[in-house]
């Protein structure tokens, strides 16, 4: 069996504040295989970006990884010291962020930034280095790359900049690329181009991609599997086709229903009542139960775990035997010692 490129086990990230200890993500586990695109979708505050920053070891103090393990190609990386983690970032994990302008230094030519990154992680020098950089620019679809090599970031359009950022992320041939909302700042027509490009690159380089986005449409287009996050937990994970066309978890169903569709006409949209709980006030049991249309007895009491159902995994009592009646105590009292 193929070894996963990234393996996250029971990850928990906490942000201590003066009033409380916020649990930004709790008990999150997933794998990504080589050449696979895992989409991570959720609304703001669901913890999807925190997951990305936790993997690359960039959680801002006082936030910290409070539990769980992260493996990159079988080697544990969540307990590495900062210099070791720095060597892994850029070399073995590439990163793409929402705003391409923040990832590029406005004072340096595109070529300089690219060659610098390649030189840091390889032995290429001189003409070979330049050749490699131009090859990368051409691979991400920059027309006339040898000419554009000497341009500054502001001379590129938004879509072209994001292509350059992709080239930077791929410069060291990383095993894993973490893309956090890579298309959100772009126009719709350009979004499609970037998604297409990412898919192609993942396949060609056999890199694993963690694609973090709030946009189910982007996931449907680009991802092989999708993890749906709610209030810091994964509530459903499975092949995109299954999750999108036949969502299991009531939250995923509501989310899919609330997306406006082209063939919808002037109908009312399905709406989930209320809003995502603040991290300071996550309800006991299943965090979605106060908004859930199918809530029943065990939901407010017991927290459902992610368990297989059909081709996916889902954390919902509708699909698993609920805890027996005698153990039905409030979640605050229940639980293993």
Enumerate binding residues for other proteins (CB under 8 A): 18, 43-44, 157-160, 187-193, 195-196, 214-218, 220-221, 240-241, 244-245, 254-272, 275-276
Contacts of 45 (CB under 8 A, 6+ apart): 231, 276, 278, 279
Q: How many residues make up the chain in this entry?
A: 337
- Contact between 201 and 26 under an 8 Å Cβ cutoff? The reply is no
**What CA–CA distance (Å, rounded) separates 220 from 232?**
22
**What CA–CA distance (Å, rounded) separates 187 from 321?**
46
User: Smallest gap, in angstroms, from Cβ of residue 124 to other proteins?
Assistant: 31
User: Smallest gap, in angstroms, from Cβ of residue 257 to other proteins?
Assistant: 8
User: Smallest gap, in angstroms, from Cβ of residue 199 to other proteins?
Assistant: 13
Cis bond leading into 62, ω under 30°? yes
The closest alpha carbon to 324, from 332, 314, 334, belongs to: 334
| 58 or 269: CB nearest other proteins | 269
| 131 or 187: CB nearest other proteins | 187
User: Smallest gap, in angstroms, from Cβ of residue 208 to other proteins?
Assistant: 22
User: Smallest gap, in angstroms, from Cβ of residue 156 to other proteins?
Assistant: 10
| 6 or 216: CB nearest other proteins | 216
User: Smallest gap, in angstroms, from Cβ of residue 119 to other proteins?
Assistant: 30
What phi and psi, each to the nearest 5 degrees, are found at residue 49?
-70, -35
User: Smallest gap, in angstroms, from Cβ of residue 315 to other proteins?
Assistant: 18
| 268 or 333: CB nearest other proteins | 268
| 81 or 267: CB nearest other proteins | 267
User: Smallest gap, in angstroms, from Cβ of residue 289 to other proteins?
Assistant: 16
Token duo for residue 233: 């937990």
| 95 or 195: CB nearest other proteins | 195
The closest alpha carbon to 35, from 172, 199, 241, belongs to: 199
Going 315 to 284 to 290 to 41, the CA torsion angle's sign is negative
**Angstrom distances, CA of residue 33 to CA of 5, 143, 177, 193, 300:** 5, 32, 12, 24, 35
**b/e sequence 296-318, b meaning 16+ C-beta within 10 Å:** eebbbbbbbebeebeebbbbbbb
| 260 or 335: CB nearest other proteins | 260
| 1 or 266: CB nearest other proteins | 266
| 44 or 324: CB nearest other proteins | 44
Name the one residue in this structure whose structure tokens are 């280095």.
129
The closest alpha carbon to 207, from 176, 170, 166, belongs to: 176
- Output helix, strand, coil percentages for the chain, rounded to the nearest 5: 35, 20, 45
User: Smallest gap, in angstroms, from Cβ of residue 15 to other proteins?
Assistant: 13
């Amino acid at each position: 069996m193929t070894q996963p490129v990234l393996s996250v086990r029971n990850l928990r990230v906490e942000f201590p504040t003066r009033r409380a200890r916020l649990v930004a993500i709790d008990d999150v586990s997933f794998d990504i295989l080589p050449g696979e695109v895992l989409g991570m979708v959720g609304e703001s505050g669901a913890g999807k970006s925190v997951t990305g920053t936790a993997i690359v070891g960039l959680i801002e103090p006082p936030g910290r990884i409070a539990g769980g393990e992260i493996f990159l190609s079988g080697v544990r990386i969540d307990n590495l010291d900062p210099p070791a983690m720095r060597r892994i970032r850029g070399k073995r994990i590439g990163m793409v962020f929402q705003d391409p302008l923040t990832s590029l230094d406005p004072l340096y030519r595109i070529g300089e930034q690219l060659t610098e990154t390649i030189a840091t992680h390889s032995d290429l020098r001189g003409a070979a280095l330049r050749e490699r950089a131009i090859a990368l620019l051409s691979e991400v679809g920059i027309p006339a790359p040898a000419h554009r090599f000497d341009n500054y970031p502001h001379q590129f359009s938004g879509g072209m900049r994001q292509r350059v950022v992709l080239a930077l992320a791929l410069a060291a041939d990383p095993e894993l690329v973490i893309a956090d909302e890579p298309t959100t700042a772009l126009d719709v027509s350009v979004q499609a181009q970037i998604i297409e490009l990412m898919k192609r690159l993942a396949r060609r380089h056999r890199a694993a991609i963690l694609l973090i986005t709030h946009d189910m449409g982007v996931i449907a287009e680009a991802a092989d599997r999708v993890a749906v996050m709610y209030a810091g937990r994964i509530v459903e994970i499975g092949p995109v086709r299954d999750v999108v066309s036949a969502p299991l978890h009531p939250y995923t169903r509501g989310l899919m229903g609330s997306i406006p569709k082209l063939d919808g006409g002037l109908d009312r949209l399905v709406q989930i009542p209320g809003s995502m709980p603040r991290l300071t006030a996550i309800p006991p049991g299943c965090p979605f139960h106060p908004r859930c249309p199918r809530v029943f007895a065990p939901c407010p009491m017991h927290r459902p775990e992610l368990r297989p159902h059909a081709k996916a995994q889902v954390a919902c009592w509708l699909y698993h035997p609920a805890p027996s009646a005698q153990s039905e105590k409030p979640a605050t009292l229940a639980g293993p010692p």
